[in-house]
Structure 1
Amino acid sequence: MPDAFVVRSIDEIRFWSRIMKEHSFFLRLGFRCEDTQLINEANYFYKLFEGIEHKSHALGLDTDPSSIRQFNTEVHTAVSHIWVFKRKILGLILTCQLPGQNNFPLLVDHVSREANYFRNRLEELNQGKLEPLQDAILDENVFFLKIMADHAKFIGHLLDPSERKLVDQAREFSQDFDQLLFQAQDLSSMRPQSQTQPLLTQFLDQNRVSVKSLRDFKQTARDLIYACKIKSIIHPLLADHVFREAERFLEIIDMFEGVLTASGKKRE
């Protein structure tokens, strides 16, 4: 039976290395022609994470845990460097040193938060630190609900203003996920204990319904963009990128519900 540490590490790296690679591409698209240093740095990180992604797919689930632990360390270093790059870009934008570039400050902050999430996950895996279930549920949902709310905002601003119905839908999703995020933050501050499992189950069920709706909206938008049936400045790869992150969130919700159900049966 494959080692759980190996399986989890490879899964995280396969997913997030592709995300980091695509972040490099999106940031590069937003730079001005004269931003040659930043463009070169973005190209460097694209190739770096492309290599990490390829290596992760070449590794088998029977790989020795010590080799995976070393790989996690190497990837952690790469992620830390791209996080610094992203925060540098954000600083340049906020201090008006890149006038005319096309990366929203919130988008740059968004991609840096994802890098920080990835490197923290690699640290947790290598150190063998797993949060208590209730903490993990709340922390993951606070993180991903913010990500989903950001996506809705980006979509709304990158659609052509004449796409009024889609813009309105994106705005509604933004407001919905802002409210879900506030609710998750409130629940997180309360830190419910195991005896409040029904509360956590209801919380996950509610989030799943909203995430599925947003996922379907993203899928429709992605397909329309690929077919050139809507007007926007959304790159087709970006449309697929945000769709995959919604899918990832749904997988995490399903995983948590499965664990909650199993733990509930054990107590009966």
Structure 2
Amino acid sequence: MSNAFVERSLEEVRFWSRIMKEHSLFLRLGFRCEDTQLIQEANGFYALFEQIESKANAYTPGTDPYTIKKFNEEVHLAVSHIWVFKRKVLGLILTCQLPGANNFPLLVDHVSREANYFRNRLEELNMGRLEPLPDAIIDENVFFLRIMADHAKFISHLLDPSERKLVEQANNFSQEFDTLLFQAKDLESMRPQSQTLPLLDQFLDQNKVSVKSLRDFKKTARDLIEACRIKSIIHPLLADHVFREAEHFLFIIDMFENSLTGAATAKPAPLAGP
């Protein structure tokens, strides 16, 4: 355990605890007024992750690693609980027990996948279980490409139908990222033979171009929503939320590209996905 462990842990918890907090808000906004128990649970998770976010922001890279290890365990428990809550909500929706509510089943599944990802990251950090770089590149991209494809679908369905041009753009991004995801899954099934430096380098380059385009589209949509210049039922915070996740994916791709460049000139070393 080292300062690198502390820094990586704090980066992950600061980013994802805010995401979990906002998920709680978005779910609450989608419940019916009579769903008082679900609303109360969502509010409780919002407060819990707000506390975790504040605590994470109070720590520094110089904090004792064992303190951060215990903190990660505390966060892991909280994330496990919100994952269970999200899956419960998904079950209620799919069994038609929340008629008239406004949370898409795919959205609830989406936010539960992100909670599970966060939980796994905390386990990997605390156990020091690091994936080899080629595996990390493929696994992280498979996960985030699906997240980006989902985002495009949500944007398309939450824009007013009269915003025909923006809806068309969102649908195009949905198809583009579905295609990229299928390509990533193909690369995944071909490993380890597919894990050559040229193929992985091209894989990252191609994904980066598309993620940048989607990031820019999300930024434009966010700015237009905040300025009340387009018609939609997208909460301004949700627009910023999906923009930040695209930025995070680009950060991960950049880290992988830098690591891959180093791997081309030095002995390969294990590296966990960011």
Whether the 8 Å CA contact 1:134–1:194 is kept in 2: the answer is no
1:51 maps to 51
Deviation at 1:3, TM superposition (A): 1.0
TM-fit CA distance, 1:193: 5.3
Match status 1:232 vs 2:224 = no
The answer to whether the Cα contact below 8 Å between 1:25 and 1:43 also exists between their aligned partners in 2 is yes
2:248 maps to 1:248: yes
SS of aligned partner of 1:198: helix
Calculate the TM-score normalised by the size of structure 2. 0.96
What is aligned with 2:272?
A: none
Q: Per chain length, whose mean CA-contact separation is higher, i.e. which structure has more relative contact order (CA < 8 Å, sep 6+)?
A: 2
1:200 aligns to 2:236 (yes or no): no
Q: CA deviation at 1:191?
A: 1.5
Amino acid at match of 1:244: R
Cα distance change of structure 1 residues 265 and 194 upon mapping to structure 2, 3 Å threshold = farther
**Is 2:134–2:195's contact at 8 Å kept on the other side of the alignment?**
no
Instruction: Calculate percent identity across the aligned residue pairs.
Output: 79
Q: Residue in 2 aligned with 1:260? A: 260
Aligned pairs for 1:72-87 (under 5 A) are 72-87=72-87
Moved over 4 A (4+): none
Name the residue aligned to 1:210.
Answer: 210
Task: Tell me the TM-score normalized by structure 1.
Answer: 0.98
Cα distance change of structure 1 residues 91 and 56 upon mapping to structure 2, 3 Å threshold: same
**Corresponding position of 1:24:** 24
**Cα distance, 1:243 vs. partner?**
0.1
* 1:70 partner amino acid: K
Distance 1:201 1:30, change over 3 A: same
Aligned: 1:113 with 2:113: yes
Distance, in Å, in 2 between the alignment partners of 1:144 and 1:171 is 18
**3-state DSSP of counterpart to 2:60:** coil
Residues 80, 116 of structure 2: 8 Å contact kept: yes
Match of 1:163 in 2: 163
Aligned equivalents of 2:4, 2:198: Cα separation in 1: 28
Structure 1 contact 134–191 (Cα < 8 Å) conserved: no
- Segments of structure 1 that go 5 or more residues without pairing to the other structure are none
Written as runs of structure 1 = structure 2, the 5 A alignment for 1:174-189 is 174-189=174-189
